Chains A and B, each alone.
Chain A
């Protein structure tokens, strides 16, 4: 991979250890993806903010890294472990380590967005702009729906792009690679966000490529289903983009049998002790949809909703939060379902959620059973 003289100098440590680490990361991912050079990016979105995801090694790494560089481009942050305005009964070690992470990112000059849906909150650059998005649902959604150019970055590669303002010119950042070789063709009707999540999880697992085509999936699918699809594809594979506008020679069929197999893998409980919504965090569309569903109803089980603070404030201003809270829902900002320390096996055996991604990590990382149901069914079944 070609590096300019200045990039070469930074790699060799002339601009300090942090910049050397950043270029070391960019060089490795550049070689892995066959990049010929680095290109400027307009926006970096960093994952690895929740203490549960990066652990003590991550805390120490970021503290050191953040003393050596500032962000070179707009940089937004993934969710942290809890709501900054609602002290949760978490172990002191968790809150202490979490705040060290927050301070490290603050020191670098990042925007404390604590969201995994930056594409619903911030101004979107022109189509065709190169960005660097870790957080797989954001990378998939941005490539596929918004026409931004990003690879499915890791926490560390997006961090490196944030302080250098650059990313490898490779894969999904190059037009000729943004075309699928395999199509997944649903032969069952996709109705709910859970259906879209299941086919996404199937596609990510079945197709070992960075771009996937879906047959018969139109724009009318809407943002809620597209988010569910993006998050699920990102969970099960390496794919960073999907399209519904291209034909390929190879077609994989997704029918009742495939759908049931995936559902058996993800749905690990019949019922749950608590309802959890928000992986990805709920945006204004879902909040709006939910406010209509729960009108003059009350939840029979505890119901937690994860959403970005920006969305919460917007919804509060228009009275939506009040409306939903009347049904007994608790809102939690700054954090999300994935690897949340707020839902542990000590307190809950199983949860109810509509998110395939949430279900996967609740099951694998939090070791909790999951009953998978779509939002509409959840409200029908668990309110009176």
Chain B
């Protein structure tokens, strides 16, 4: 079984992996170790978790404008997420960081009342088709 949700393309590409979902915003400069992709802010829901090779599902980035370089550093260090979904509106930090790093990015994810996207679910983000496909058993 699959659930398909609509979304909006920001940076083209396809990413397939497990989802890591948080409702907390991220300051990429201050909260992410760009060598290991680990979230290092003790107050963050994802503290201690790695955002490497996963589909990061989060509201949006906040804070320092340099966060865009932190996203690029993740890519160069080979620990970037496979794709990113901004739950509401993608922000300029995330959009520019993903654009230069070729990390597929979508936003405005459809929110049907009958379905909740959770961590560990296997998903495929196809930015060009503006669709997010979730494997549901």
Contact = CB atoms under 8 A, between A and B. Distances in A.
B103 to A, nearest CB: 10
Given A27-B99, A28-B99, A152-B92, A158 B72 contact: no
Given A24-B99, A234-B63, A364-B30, A157 B92 contact: yes
A235 interface: yes
B72 A136 contact: no
B65 A134 contact: yes
B65 A158 contact: yes
A248 to B, nearest CB: 20
A158 B65 CA distance: 9
A36 to B, nearest CB: 15
Contacts of A47: 64-66
Given A32-B92, A32-B107, A157 B68 contact: yes
Interface residues of A, number: 45
Contact of B73 (A21, A57, A139, A158): A57
Interface string B106-117: 010000000000
B58 interface: no
Nearest to B77: A57
B63 A235 contact: yes
A210 to B, nearest CB: 10
B99 A364 contact: no
B91 interface: yes
A154 interface: yes
Contacts of B4: none
A25 B96 contact: yes
B92 A29 contact: yes
A183 interface: no
Contacts of A361: 29-30, 64
Interface of B: 8-11, 25, 27, 29-31, 34, 41, 43, 59-69, 72-73, 75-77, 88-100, 105, 107
Interface of A: 21, 24-25, 27-29, 31-33, 47-48, 53-58, 60-61, 134-136, 139, 151-158, 160, 204, 208, 234-238, 265, 339, 360-361, 364-365
15 contacts: A27-B99, A28-B11, A47-B65, A53-B29, A57-B77, A134-B65, A136-B65, A154-B68, A156-B96, A160-B96, A204-B62, A235-B63, A238-B91, A361-B29, A361-B30
Sort A-B residue pairs by CB-CB distance and give the 10 closest, nearest first. Answer: A28-B99, A364-B30, A57-B76, A154-B68, A134-B65, A32-B95, A57-B73, A156-B96, A32-B90, A54-B69
Given A24-B100, A54-B69, A361-B29, 6 more contacts: A28-B10, A28-B105, A53-B29, A56-B73, A154-B96, A237-B25
